[in-house]
């Protein structure tokens, strides 16, 4: 088992290497002079020269990459020109807020997606199945930035149950309960699409598994239907559901951009949007690299879970 | 565009004429039809925007700013600058649709080109291209689009490129998959030999074949792409003022959300309508094209085969002394308008400790008969429409579900054909046996484990303690079937229903398993219903034989009598198919022709069409199963006499 996990960990290295190259090339691909693009057309020539030197733009691309990746591996992502702080500090601070939001959403989506999918499959063509299918269809067609507004108008403005924005209350805020209170609306908004996708896939996977011969064997053994569905069928279905949860992690991490903007959640998505508007390229670069690396690691985790669940995949 | 997709797909599936056309299926699907109507209206309005009597979408009017819904001259009110929302909505929809559809087309063209080249060229080009595609997919979806916009700078066209690039991998992967399969087909070899270059082959031979896949991928992604371009505009990274699409309208409206919520809600509702209608159409197309959904094969089999209400029950009393006493059992398969009488009125009796061999070709209904006894025929489409199933005098056809569950695996156990498919792949075999034991006996886990190990020893599995932790795929076919038998014996059953238990095994292993079953049944006084297509196997294990054809028993009697002098020509032909050592001149040809479809059985004898002894009277009226000689019953008007052979 340790060997399997180690082997999977090794496969992540080339992917991370590839990611770093693409992210590194972001600067090189900027049309025109990157330093001017980053600093804006009103920058003084000294500043442009200094940035060019610090980016090492006078060197060859492989040399530049080497210098850059050495810095990254030591936690040096450069400085944000708009905020005048080290990129790594801002990114880590923001990313922890995003992780909280995305993690909560993925948890909601997994729990409710699996439940809805199983109920839908077990009650195939029944009323519950039809209702769930309809809700799922609406859910996956709903723009999250619109849903967020609807939820704010209803829950924050009309019935005043949850706050409309931020992560903590401005006066006397803080503490886990306050954060949880602020987390509900954005987490639900972000979870909706992923819940729908997971529910759909779970329904299909369960229906597929329930037709298998080994389910007939389980029934022929005299097991209760509950045991057949939740132990025998669900375990087999989970093998094909886990990678989809991994992929949904990517949609949730990316979709956080909208939700963080709508709810003014101090996460990395909202930060990226500002950084892009301000052409703060080094900040964008650092943010993208960290989120993408986290996504790769999460998929790795899903991959390992899948292998542990189904030893035939070794 | 999606209706064009539907049309293109319809054209693809034209040759199968007996099926309803895809377009008809799509329109039958009420949700998909509703999606088509809504999308048609939206696209129509967007296209007609220049000729519609709309206000200038950019004309500001500070005097009438933030007008509510249904204000005079402004049906949907005005925004913070006094601009008419209805007009802006329709013009914005135009922009959003144009950008989303363009992004989809770019993604489709570029992605398909990459997929075609990678799939056709194979080798190193394939490796490199697909690794690059994998790398793109390693980024969280929206994040990559953000990175691209960061490089190119905010703007509607740049947002379009970003969304297109992000969606390229979906097309590349799907198209490559199909192309790899096609590139190895004969017609491509033929084209290559005729001197066509790779580009011409890709264009004229492969592209037409992958077009449906491109269209399906488009129909499932175009909604997303419209949503995502609107999303980038919402974030302020897409459409820049004064240009407006639905996303930027929503983003602008957010600033006055608490005073005038409709300004942001209306464009959001429009995005939602567009995306949901496209998704409905996409689902409709997929359902219409997926043949498994058409036949209802993806339906979930229920706990127990459906029982018809009212059930056609024979009045004869059940034989309480017999282990199994089946009378007039009928099981149908209902597939759409067709009804298949898979089991068309079967009588079976098995005395305690006796083994009955149920023999027939595949499709004769023998498995359906056996699986009907404990309600294991998948339902839908299966349904028991008649008969009594007597087990020690108790009728199982009318027993409650909970009673059936208690009997399953305890008094009546099953052994199935392919143990690789019939054992759960993810549980170790020990756990599966323990589970069977504990379903019926109040034993602790460790007690049940001890019993499971004994069972594995009983079926002569070497190193049973070690094998307990093995997964089914780690065992050989013979060992797996021994595990299945151990599991069937777990609760000391009185009857074992064995459905072709040796068919998937090697001949030598087959003999071992048969010997094992035979020993066990004698030691434990087990009654066995043994289903097989092989008379050779029957002769080794069965006391009595019943031969099935087209859902009915055509001959039954003691094994020795049937084997020596069958009365029914069909039985004779089946026996002639068994190879015998030292008789190489024996003809081994299977019975010529095919059994009739059981949804349109001919009148009279179902075998008449294939029978060398057929007479005109064979095709009229019901032919009964009656006694021909010493315990041998046959359903035949012109039976073979003892010693008589077929010409």
- Is a pLDDT exceeding 80 seen at residue B417? yes
Would you call A208 and B152 a contact, using CB atoms and an 8 Å cutoff?
Answer: no
How far apart CA B427 and CA B434 sit, in angstroms, is 11
B250 to chain A, any CB pair closer than 8 A? The answer is yes
Higher pLDDT, B448 or B12: B448
- Is a pLDDT exceeding 50 seen at residue B5? no
Mean pLDDT of A4-15: 84
Please tell me whether residues A39 and A104 are part of one structural domain. Answer: no
Residues in contact with B129: Cβ distance below 8 Å, sequence separation at least 6, in sequence order: B114, B117, B118, B172
Please tell me whether residues A23 and A168 are part of one structural domain. Answer: no
Contact A241, A114 (CB under 8 A): yes
What's the first-to-final CA gap in chain B, in angstroms? 66
Mean pLDDT of B520-525: 88
Mean pLDDT of A212-234: 92
Higher pLDDT, B191 or A101: A101
Which pLDDT does position B11 carry in this prediction?
39
Which pLDDT does position A218 carry in this prediction?
93
A254 to chain B, any CB pair closer than 8 A? The answer is yes
List the single range of B58-62, B248-252, B255-259, B477-481 with lowest mean pLDDT: B58-62
Would you call A30 and B151 a contact, using CB atoms and an 8 Å cutoff?
Answer: yes
Contact B640, B569 (CB under 8 A): yes
CA distance B73 to chain A (A): 27
Which pLDDT does position B10 carry in this prediction?
39
- Is a pLDDT exceeding 50 seen at residue B125? yes
Please tell me whether residues A19 and A112 are part of one structural domain. Answer: no
Mean pLDDT of A107-116: 96
Burial level of B441, CB count in 10 A (0-12/13-18/19+)? middle
Which pLDDT does position B27 carry in this prediction?
65
B374 to chain A, any CB pair closer than 8 A? The answer is yes
Smallest CA-to-CA distance from A102 within A144, A59, A68 is with A144
Mean pLDDT of B504-516: 83
How large a percentage of chain B has pLDDT more than 90?
35
Band (pLDDT 50/70/90 cuts) for residue A257 is: very high
Band (pLDDT 50/70/90 cuts) for residue B557 is: very high
- Is a pLDDT exceeding 70 seen at residue B167? yes
Higher pLDDT, A186 or B339: A186
Provide, as residue numbers in chain B, all residues whose Cβ is less than 8 Å from the Cβ of A30.
151
Please tell me whether residues A180 and A47 are part of one structural domain. Answer: no
Q: Which residue of B has its CA nearest to A235?
A: B426
Would you call A235 and B426 a contact, using CB atoms and an 8 Å cutoff?
Answer: yes
How far apart CA B631 and CA B641 sit, in angstroms, is 14
* Domains identified in chain A, total number: 2
Question: Which residue ranges make up each domain of chain B?
Answer: 87-293
Please tell me whether residues A106 and A208 are part of one structural domain. Answer: yes
Task: Find residues 406-445 of chain B whose CB sits inside 8 Å of chain A.
Answer: 406-410, 413-414, 416, 418, 421-427, 435-436, 439-440
CA distance A203 to chain B (A): 11
Task: Find residues 141-180 of chain A whose CB sits inside 8 Å of chain B.
Answer: 141-143, 145-146, 149-150, 152-153, 157
Band (pLDDT 50/70/90 cuts) for residue A313 is: confident
The answer as to whether A131 is a domain residue is: yes
Please tell me whether residues A152 and A42 are part of one structural domain. Answer: no
- Is a pLDDT exceeding 70 seen at residue B8? no
Which pLDDT does position B18 carry in this prediction?
45
List the single range of A59-68, A149-158, B38-47 with lowest mean pLDDT: A59-68
B272 to chain A, any CB pair closer than 8 A? The answer is yes
- Is a pLDDT exceeding 50 seen at residue B1? no
What's the whole-model pTM score?
A: 0.86
- Is a pLDDT exceeding 50 seen at residue B9? no
Task: Find residues 183-202 of chain A whose CB sits inside 8 Å of chain B.
Answer: none
Provide, as residue numbers in chain B, all residues whose Cβ is less than 8 Å from the Cβ of A261.
234-235
Give the mean pLDDT of chain B: 85
Contact B370, B358 (CB under 8 A): yes
CATH number, domain B87-293: 1.10.3720.10
Measure CB to CB from residue A223 to each of B275, B276, B439 and give the nearest one.
B439
Mean pLDDT of B436-452: 93
Out of A16, A40, A73, pick the residue that ends a domain: A73
pLDDT digits (tens, 9 = 90+) for B192-234: 888 888 888 888 888 888 888 888 888 888 998 999 999 999 9
Please tell me whether residues A155 and A302 are part of one structural domain. Answer: yes
Which pLDDT does position B295 carry in this prediction?
47
Torsion, CA A12, CA A13, CA A18, CA A24, rounded to 10 = 120
The answer as to whether A250 is a domain residue is: yes
Provide, as residue numbers in chain A, all residues whose Cβ is less than 8 Å from the Cβ of B439.
221-224
Task: Find residues 170-229 of chain B whose CB sits inside 8 Å of chain A.
Answer: 223, 227
Would you call A216 and B416 a contact, using CB atoms and an 8 Å cutoff?
Answer: yes
pLDDT digits (tens, 9 = 90+) for A31-69: 766 677 667 667 778 877 777 777 677 778 888 888 888
A5 to chain B, any CB pair closer than 8 A? The answer is no
Band (pLDDT 50/70/90 cuts) for residue B405 is: very high
Please tell me whether residues A141 and A46 are part of one structural domain. Answer: no
Out of A23, A45, A73, pick the residue that ends a domain: A73
- The 10 Å Cβ neighbour count of residue B15 is 6
A216 to chain B, any CB pair closer than 8 A? The answer is yes
CA distance A156 to chain B (A): 11
Band (pLDDT 50/70/90 cuts) for residue B428 is: very high
Task: Find residues 284-343 of chain B whose CB sits inside 8 Å of chain A.
Answer: 297-301, 303
Q: Buried b vs exposed e over B511-540: b needs ≥16 C-beta within 10 Å?
A: ebbbebbeebbeeeebbbbbbbbbbebbbb
Residues in contact with A28: Cβ distance below 8 Å, sequence separation at least 6, in sequence order: A34, A61, A64
How far apart CA B107 and CA B164 sit, in angstroms, is 5
Which pLDDT does position B20 carry in this prediction?
55
The answer as to whether A119 is a domain residue is: yes
Out of A73, A105, A131, pick the residue that ends a domain: A73
- Is a pLDDT exceeding 90 seen at residue B185? no
Residue ranges making up the domain that contains A43: 2-73
- Is a pLDDT exceeding 70 seen at residue A292? yes
Q: Which of A19-28, B155-164, B195-204, B583-592 has the highest mean pLDDT?
A: B155-164
Measure CB to CB from residue A217 to each of B150, B280, B423 and give the nearest one.
B423
Task: Classify residue B603 by its DSSP letter.
Answer: S
Band (pLDDT 50/70/90 cuts) for residue A5 is: confident
> Which residues face B331 on adjacent strands?
B343, B384
- Is a pLDDT exceeding 50 seen at residue B13? no
- Is a pLDDT exceeding 50 seen at residue B148? yes
Contact B606, B552 (CB under 8 A): yes
pLDDT digits (tens, 9 = 90+) for A114-135: 999 999 998 888 888 889 989 9
Smallest CA-to-CA distance from A79 within A33, A21, A39 is with A39
Contact A97, A266 (CB under 8 A): yes
CATH assignment of the domain containing A307: 1.10.3720.10
The answer as to whether A80 is a domain residue is: no
Q: Which residue of A has its CA nearest to B31?
A: A134
How far apart CA B248 and CA A161 sit, in angstroms, is 29
Mean pLDDT of A208-235: 92
List the single range of A133-142, A278-287, B61-70, B127-136 with lowest mean pLDDT: B61-70
- Is a pLDDT exceeding 70 seen at residue B61? yes
Please tell me whether residues A109 and A52 are part of one structural domain. Answer: no
Would you call A251 and B250 a contact, using CB atoms and an 8 Å cutoff?
Answer: no
B256 to chain A, any CB pair closer than 8 A? The answer is no
- Is a pLDDT exceeding 80 seen at residue A150? yes
Task: Find residues 274-313 of chain A whose CB sits inside 8 Å of chain B.
Answer: 275-277, 279, 281, 284, 288, 291-292, 295-296, 299, 309-312
pLDDT digits (tens, 9 = 90+) for B128-142: 998 889 888 888 888
Q: Which residue of A has its CA nearest to B408?
A: A222
- Is a pLDDT exceeding 80 seen at residue B346? yes
CA distance A158 to chain B (A): 10
Tokens representing A114?
Answer: 């699996």
B168 to chain A, any CB pair closer than 8 A? The answer is no
The answer as to whether A81 is a domain residue is: no
Mean pLDDT of A142-153: 92
Would you call A277 and B236 a contact, using CB atoms and an 8 Å cutoff?
Answer: yes
A221 to chain B, any CB pair closer than 8 A? The answer is yes
Please tell me whether residues A49 and A191 are part of one structural domain. Answer: no
Which pLDDT does position B597 carry in this prediction?
80
Which pLDDT does position B478 carry in this prediction?
86
Smallest CA-to-CA distance from A237 within A115, A140, A132 is with A115
Provide, as residue numbers in chain A, all residues whose Cβ is less than 8 Å from the Cβ of B378.
211, 216
Mean pLDDT of B394-399: 90
Which pLDDT does position B200 carry in this prediction?
87
């Amino acid at each position: 088992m340790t060997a399997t996990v180690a082997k999977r960990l090794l496969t992540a290295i080339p992917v991370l290497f590839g990611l770093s190259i693409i992210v590194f090339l972001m600067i090189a691909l900027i049309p025109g002079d990157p330093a001017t693009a980053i600093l804006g057309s009103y920058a003084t020539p000294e500043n442009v020269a200094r940035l060019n030197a610090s980016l090492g733009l006078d060197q060859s691309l492989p040399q530049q990459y080497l210098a850059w990746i050495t810095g990254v591996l030591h936690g040096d992502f450069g400085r944000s020109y708009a905020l005048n702080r080290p990129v790594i500090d801002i990114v880590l601070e923001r990313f922890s807020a995003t992780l909280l939001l995305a993690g909560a959403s993925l948890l909601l989506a997994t729990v409710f997606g699996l439940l809805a999918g199983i109920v839908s499959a077990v009650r195939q063509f029944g009323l519950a199945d039809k209702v769930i299918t309809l809700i799922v269809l609406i859910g996956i067609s709903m723009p999250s930035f619109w849903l967020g507004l609807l939820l704010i108008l209803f829950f924050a403005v009309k019935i005043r149950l949850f706050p409309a924005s931020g992560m903590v209350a401005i006066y006397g805020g803080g503490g886990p309960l306050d954060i949880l209170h602020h987390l509900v609306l954005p987490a639900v908004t972000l979870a909706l699409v992923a819940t729908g996708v997971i529910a759909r896939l779970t329904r299909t996977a369960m229906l597929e598994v329930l037709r298998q011969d080994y389910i007939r064997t389980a029934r022929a053994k005299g097991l209760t239907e509950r045991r057949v569905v939740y132990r025998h069928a669900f375990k087999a279905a989970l093998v094909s559901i886990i990678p989809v949860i991994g992929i949904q992690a990517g949609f949730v991490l990316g979709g956080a951009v909208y939700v963080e903007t709508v709810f003014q959640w101090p996460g990395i998505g909202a930060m990226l949007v500002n950084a892009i508007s301000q052409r703060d390229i080094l900040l964008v670069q650092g943010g993208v690299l960290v989120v993408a690396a986290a996504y790769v690691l999460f998929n790795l985790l899903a991959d390992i879970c899948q292998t542990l669940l189904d030893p035939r995949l070794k | 565009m999606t209706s064009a997709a539907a049309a293109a797909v319809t054209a693809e599936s034209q040759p199968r004429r007996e099926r309803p056309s895809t377009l008809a299926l799509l329109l039958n699907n009420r949700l998909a039809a509703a999606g088509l109507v809504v999308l048609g209206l939206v696209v129509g309005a967007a296209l007609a925007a220049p000729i519609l009597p709309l206000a200038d979408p950019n004309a500001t009017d500070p005097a009438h700013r933030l007008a509510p819904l249904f204000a005079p001259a402004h049906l949907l009110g005005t925004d913070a600058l006094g601009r008419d929302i209805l007009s802006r909505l329709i013009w914005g929809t135009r922009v959003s649709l144009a950008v989303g559809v363009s992004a989809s087309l770019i993604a489709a063209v570029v992605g398909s080109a990459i997929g075609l080249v990678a799939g056709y060229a194979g080798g190193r080009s394939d490796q490199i291209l697909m690794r690059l595609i994998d790398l793109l997919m390693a980024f969280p979806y929206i994040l990559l689009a953000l990175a691209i916009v960061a490089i190119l700078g905010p703007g509607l066209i740049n947002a379009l490129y970003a969304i297109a690039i992000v969606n390229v991998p979906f097309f590349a992967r799907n198209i490559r998959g199909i192309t790899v399969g096609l590139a190895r087909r004969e017609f491509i070899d033929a084209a290559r030999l005729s001197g066509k270059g790779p580009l011409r082959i890709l264009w004229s031979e492969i592209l037409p074949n992958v077009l449906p896949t491109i269209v399906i991928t488009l129909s499932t992604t175009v909604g997303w792409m419209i949503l995502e371009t609107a999303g980038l505009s919402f974030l302020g990274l897409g459409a820049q003022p004064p240009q407006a699409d639905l996303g930027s309208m929503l983003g602008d409206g957010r600033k006055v959300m608490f005073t005038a919520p409709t300004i942001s809600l209306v464009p959001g509702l429009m995005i939602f309508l567009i995306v949901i209608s496209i998704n409905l159409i996409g689902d409709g197309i997929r359902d219409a094209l997926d043949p498994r959904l058409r036949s209802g094969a993806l339906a979930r089999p229920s706990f127990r085969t459906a029982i018809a209400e009212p059930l056609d029950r024979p009045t004869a009393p059940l034989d309480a002394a017999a282990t199994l006493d089946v009378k007039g059992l009928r099981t149908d398969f209902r597939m759409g308008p067709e009804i298949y009488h898979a089991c068309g009125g079967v009588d079976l009796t098995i005395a305690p400790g006796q083994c009955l061999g149920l023999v027939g070709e595949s499709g004769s209904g023998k498995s359906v008969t056996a699986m009907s006894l404990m309600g294991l025929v998948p339902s839908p489409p299966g349904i028991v429409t008649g008969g009594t199933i007597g087990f020690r005098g108790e009728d199982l056809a009318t027993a409650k579900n909970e009673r059936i569950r208690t009997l399953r695996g305890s008094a009546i156990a099953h052994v199935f054909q392919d143990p690789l498919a019939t054992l759960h792949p993810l549980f170790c075999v020990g756990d599966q046996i323990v589970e069977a034991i504990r379903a019926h006996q109040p034993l602790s886990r460790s007690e049940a484990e001890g019993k499971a190990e004994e069972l594995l020893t009983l079926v002569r599995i070497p190193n049973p303690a070690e094998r307990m932790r093995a997964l089914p795929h780690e065992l050989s076919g013979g060992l797996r079937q021994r595990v299945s038998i151990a599991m069937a014996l777990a609760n000391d059953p009185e009857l074992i229903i064995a459905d072709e238990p040796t068919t998937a095994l090697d001949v030598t292993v087959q003999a071992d398993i048969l010997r094992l079953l035979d020993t066990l049944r004698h030691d434990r006084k087990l009654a066995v219903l043994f289903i097989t297509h092989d008379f050779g196997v029957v002769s080794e294990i069965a006391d009595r034989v019943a031969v099935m054809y087209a859902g009915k028993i055509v001959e039954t009697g003691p094994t020795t009598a049937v084997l020596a002098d069958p009365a029914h020509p069909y039985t004779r032909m089946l026996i002639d198919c068994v190879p015998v050592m030292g008789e190489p001149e024996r003809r081994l040809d299977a019975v010529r022709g095919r059994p009739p479809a059981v949804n349109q059985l001919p009148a009279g004898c179902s075998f008449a069409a294939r029978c060398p002894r057929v007479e005109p009277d064979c095709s009229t009226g019901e032919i009964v199963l009656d006694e021909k000689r010493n315990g041998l019953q046959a359903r035949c008007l012109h039976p073979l006499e003892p010693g008589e052979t077929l010409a």
